[in-house]
Structure formats: structure tokens, C-alpha cells
Amino acid sequence: MLIPSVSVPVGQKGDWKIERKYVEPKPWNNHGNFRHVPNGEYTFLYRGNTLVMSDTPDEKKDHLSAVINAKGNCLIAGLGIGMVLNAIAAKHEVTHIDVVEISEDVIELVSEYYKGLYGDKITFHKSSIFDFKPSIKYDMAWFDIWDNLCEDNLEEMAKLHRKFGKHAQWKGSWGREYLKYERQRNKNRYWR
């Protein structure tokens, strides 16, 4: 698979916690749609008791387009456990990655591990992506700043795609296409 499992160390900083645990197979409800997690060991990021990210196969599939489109200078908004960061940093055609993360605790939990692997190829910025001022043009920009998927996220996604319209050749947001599909499906259901 293009996206390897995460090996970032487990730990806790403030409200944020990284855990690695073995999961038994069962369907689970993730943001309103049922997904299957095969048995295996996975890494999870929690804020308090809220699951924010994991490296389960379905989560990897959700982020595959970012990895496929990564080349040259890349921008990632939302660090999480660094799953996308690790996958694109390993690509030879990726020359530099700016990671924008609003939580200092998440940066402290994750950044040193990836700096140790990839050195100066990565620059971490503690900022909201809405306040971040790009100083270069990016070949790829990936936005993953939401804890869960809901149609309300589409407005912020559109705002980010507009903001970086001239600053990134390719832009993507976690779950955007799925949410657009759901919005259209719900609209069609309403008008029947």
C-alpha cells in the first residue's frame, strides 16, 4: 500500500494522546457510515475521549489522493499522527513539506519523530491554516483539520480551496468528495 502504518511513539501531551492497540474485527460507525476495521494493530490519536485519527485501512484510503498527488513542494494542514506526512515525505519526488498544525501539543507529540526520519525536508508551523500565509507555491495542498465528517465542513473546505487557489496546483480535503456526494444525495432525497 502507498500509505504505510504509523510508527510514531505513543505518548500524551495535554488533552492529546497517541495509543497503539490491537483491534478485533467488527463494523464500526465512523461519522454516520459503517466501516470495517480488520483485526490488527493500529495507531490512534485522541483529544480527550474523542478519536481524531487512526491508521486503519479505511482511513488510509481516505487520504490516498493526497499521497498520489504529492510532488515538489507540499502543504499539509492538520498533522494528526503524521500518516500522510510520512507517506509523502518518503516519496523522492517530494522536495519539501510545510505542515500547519494549530495544536502545539500535537506538534510536540509527533514532530520530532518525523524530523528524525526526514530532517529539513519538513517544516512545522504552529498556526491555524486559515491564518497561515504561504510564502511559496505548492504542487500539492492537503487539508485535514476536521475531527469528523459532516456537510457543514464543505463551507470551510471551499474557503481553503479558494484561499490556496493560486498557491497550490492540486488541492484536496479529507472527505470532500464524499460530503459533496452526500449533500447531493440528501438534496435528491428531499425533493422526491
CATH number, position 75: 3.40.50.150
Residues 159 and 93 reside in one and the same domain: yes
- Residue 184 falls within a domain, yes or no? no
Pairwise pLDDT comparison (162 vs 33), residue with the higher score: 162
Per residue in 35-85, pLDDT tens? Answer: 678 889 999 999 999 999 999 999 999 999 999 999 999 999 999 999 999
Q: Both 96 and 151 in a single domain?
A: yes
Whether the pLDDT of residue 184 is over 80: the answer is yes
Domain that holds residue 88: 61-179
Q: Does residue 189 carry a pLDDT above 90?
A: no
**Is residue 2 included in any domain, yes or no?**
no
Residues 46 and 71 in one domain: no
**What CA–CA distance (Å, rounded) separates 143 from 150?**
15
pLDDT the model gives residue 187: 75
Angle at 58 between CA 171 and CA 53, to 5 degrees: 75
Q: How far apart are CA 175 and CA 146, in angstroms?
A: 10
HSE toward the beta carbon, residue 156, CA cutoff 13 A: 17
Read off the pLDDT band of 31 (50, 70, 90): very low
Does residue 181 surpass a pLDDT of 50? yes
- The CA–CA distances, whole Å, from 165 to 53, 79, 137, 153, 168 equal 27, 21, 10, 18, 6
What is the reported pTM?
A: 0.90
